[in-house]
Chain A
Amino acid sequence: MNSLEVRNLTKRFDKIVAVDGASFEVPDGSIFGLIGRNGAGKTTTIRMMMGIYLPDEGEVILKGTKVGREFKSNVGYLPEERGLYKKMKVLETLLYFAELKGKTGKEVQKKAVEYLKKFELYDRRMSKIEDLSKGNQQKIQFITTILHDPEFIILDEPFSGLDPINTNILKEIILEMKRRGKVIILSTHLIDYAEKMCDHLAIIEKGKIVLKGSIDELKSKYANRNVSLAYKGDISFLKKHNEIVEKIEDFGNSTGIKVRKESQIQELLKLLIDNGVEIKKFDANDISLHEIFVETVGNEVDSESQFSLSDREGINV
């Protein structure tokens, strides 16, 4: 069952079409990834879903009916560009944002304290926001997103600027939310995170949805004749073997190799061993989301942004 459906969303700013007829479905109880490069239209799409921007065309359907005002109270939204009232105190901030969602009273207060303890910020509850470190401000921001226990959680580039430890805490909470049946929409340009966390995804490029589906489906569709390789040594000799190798994509940590025929996979393995390459991982018929992304968006990716994509994925999830 699709709980949330985006139909033909379009937004123009003057003559630029920021989002062009975007349609996708977010299934119940899943983590949905909206993936694209910087400036591809992710944030604009999400803003339209949140009713922050009015779409020029299209609509967002929630369980069969067009979303209205009450949807906002049911969503926790973490925007890419974050901000809090600097002069407000931590606990006061949390309670204020919950109040805007219609949640007041002891219950929320208790939960706010719980979350503060979880993020080790309980002793800072009476501090002003401006006195917190940037990382701690981000934690507070995240708590405001989930404190009112929303059904939907929309996270726009949630990991940007977080250190590995906080990234892990955040990841844990997202997965816990999923276990509790929440629908999570994750927009990111960090493809490795998306691959490891999402069940479904849509790739957006220049305002258009160029690919969508469940990760498993997509992988099995694209993984044919593909080998995911981790190695030590030099594989540049493969370029000479055009009769076997169709394409090589180097992503630094791993390399994707596409062979011409499925039967050639064994030949490739032999070739590598014969040439003294130390193989750490050889995964036949596997493809990373990264490769799918490059394959779909690839022709349009200039070298610079390709570099930034592989550059930024480096942190371990």
Chain B
Amino acid sequence: MFNYRVLAIIKRELRERLFSKAFITTTLLIPGLIIVIFGVQALLYSTESKNLNFELITENEELTSAFVYEFSNADFVKEKNYVFLYKTMTKEELKKHLEEIRNKITDESLTGVIFVPSSALKDKKIEYYSKSPQNIALSRELNGPINKVLVDAYFMNKTLNPEELEFARRGVDFAGFKVSEEEQIKEEGYGNIILAYAFTFLLYMSLLIIGQITLQSVIEEKSNKIVEIVLSSVEPKELMTGKILGASITGLVQMGIWLFTIMGVVSSSWITLPDNLVLEIDTKVVLYVLANFFIGLVLFIGLFATVGAIFDNPQDASSGTMPIMMLIIIPFFIAFSIMENPNKPYAEIASLFPFSSVIVMPARMTLIDVPTWQLIAAILINILTIIAIFPVAGKIYRVGILITGKKPKWSEVVRWLKQ
């Protein structure tokens, strides 16, 4: 199975891939792309609510001046250049007023009107009039400061000491602590979620890219008729093994470069991450992710190579790769969904399931403590899957690689298995 011929094929594949422009550019470009995606998101988030104009209307002067005092010193108003125009009027007057300024709201020269009725001092219900009233980011932002003003106003005439008042003003601070088998219970920030994102993205991109490259190269050999010459020297099984291992090692090297770079950057003193962004990534995690990835890659590349052998041009092959793409894309979305709550019932299954474990397990193990047996099981299950499906894949490869001409039907492919 593993002999000098397979070795020669692996060596050629590596020479061809590792020093190719495509390899070097994707190795550099993909992390850059991820940074850009995160950057754009952050940018959109930070620009979305800048330079907004509001009218803040209350039913009595005292409340208005309390808002003026509170908001003029509030950080978010300064940072984002919000402009507030403070007015005092009754509910009836407000109705008339809204009619007058309707145009300003609809053409968005006025973002919205926040109306705090006197009744808010009892039920804390306020009203917001705008062209787009369902602005979650805005309501989250204004919630705290408005609450503070209302609390202050409510307790104004009651005898409370400042400490009690301070307590009443406070919102709830929801701090997450990660309970693991390690002795220490650590407060956890967003760092591990970011890490899970990074793992998910990198694994997903890499599977797609290496898979496509393998597909192209098998099709090239087939359509350029190279394969017949190669097969006069080696067995189809040897060629397939060599190609799969060559591509998988390429992927492993690339992933290794990415992950160790991340680890190096994060643990170095070049940059100091804010407390809530500290992420834990150590050699053990990286090595596990790489091992899990390598086995998964072998499995996926085997499928891509098989599909490549069935078709003799990339257009036809794209229909054949659809099912494999699904096996990559669905776990990608599962990995994203478990970032919200890693304890979802399907998270455990998906992180052990063949194919999907490649992407889901790294995300899951970053977020929660996964028992060691599950980590090992995920790899073993993929190995068993390889053992189960590769004989079939090899047969299809063996027959398909020599057949050119019209696009074969799936029923024909099934018949190849009997040859």
Contact = CB atoms under 8 A, between A and B. Distances in A.
A14 B412 CA distance: 9
B158 interface: no
Contact of B226 (A14, A47, A77, A83): A83
B8 interface: yes
B230 interface: yes
A81 B228 contact: yes
Interface residues of B, number: 22
Main secondary structure, interface of A, reads: loop
Contacts of B225: 79, 81-83
A79 B229 contact: yes
Contacts of A260: none
A50 B232 contact: yes
B110 to A, nearest CB: 63
Interface in A57-95: 69, 72-73, 75, 77, 79, 81-88
Interface string A79-118: 1011111111000000011011110000000000000000
Nearest to B227: A83
Contacts of A97: 229, 233
B12 interface: yes
A144 B226 CA distance: 12
Contact of B235 (A69, A77, A87): A69
Contact of B229 (A54, A73, A82, A88): A82
Contacts of B417: none
Contact of B233 (A47, A72, A87): A72
Contacts of B415: 14
Main secondary structure, interface of B, reads: helix
A83 B235 CA distance: 18
B226 A84 contact: yes
A102 B229 contact: no
Given A52-B402, A83-B224, A96 B232 contact: no
Nearest to A154: B232
A68 to B, nearest CB: 11
B174 interface: no
Could you say which interface size class chain A belongs to? 20 to 34
Contact of A101 (B221, B228, B233, B235): B233
B237 to A, nearest CB: 11
Interface string B1-16: 0001100110010001
Nearest to B223: A83
A72 B16 contact: no
A100 B234 contact: yes
A83 B229 contact: yes
B231 interface: yes
Given A52-B402, A85-B226, A102-B4, A75 B12 contact: no
Given A14-B415, A85-B226, A96-B8, A79 B232 contact: yes
B417 to A, nearest CB: 13
Interface string B230-274: 111111000000000000000000000000000000000000000
B419 interface: yes
A52 B226 contact: no
A307 interface: no
B4 to A, nearest CB: 6
B229 A144 contact: yes
B24 to A, nearest CB: 15
A75 to B, nearest CB: 7
A41 to B, nearest CB: 15
A16 B76 CA distance: 80
B229 A77 contact: yes
Contacts of A51: 235
Nearest to A14: B415
Given A75-B232, A83-B224, 11 more contacts: A52-B232, A52-B402, A54-B419, A77-B232, A79-B225, A79-B232, A82-B225, A82-B229, A83-B229, A102-B4, A102-B5
Interface of B: 4-5, 8-9, 12, 16, 221, 224-235, 402, 415, 419
7 contacts: A51-B235, A79-B232, A83-B225, A83-B226, A86-B224, A100-B234, A141-B229
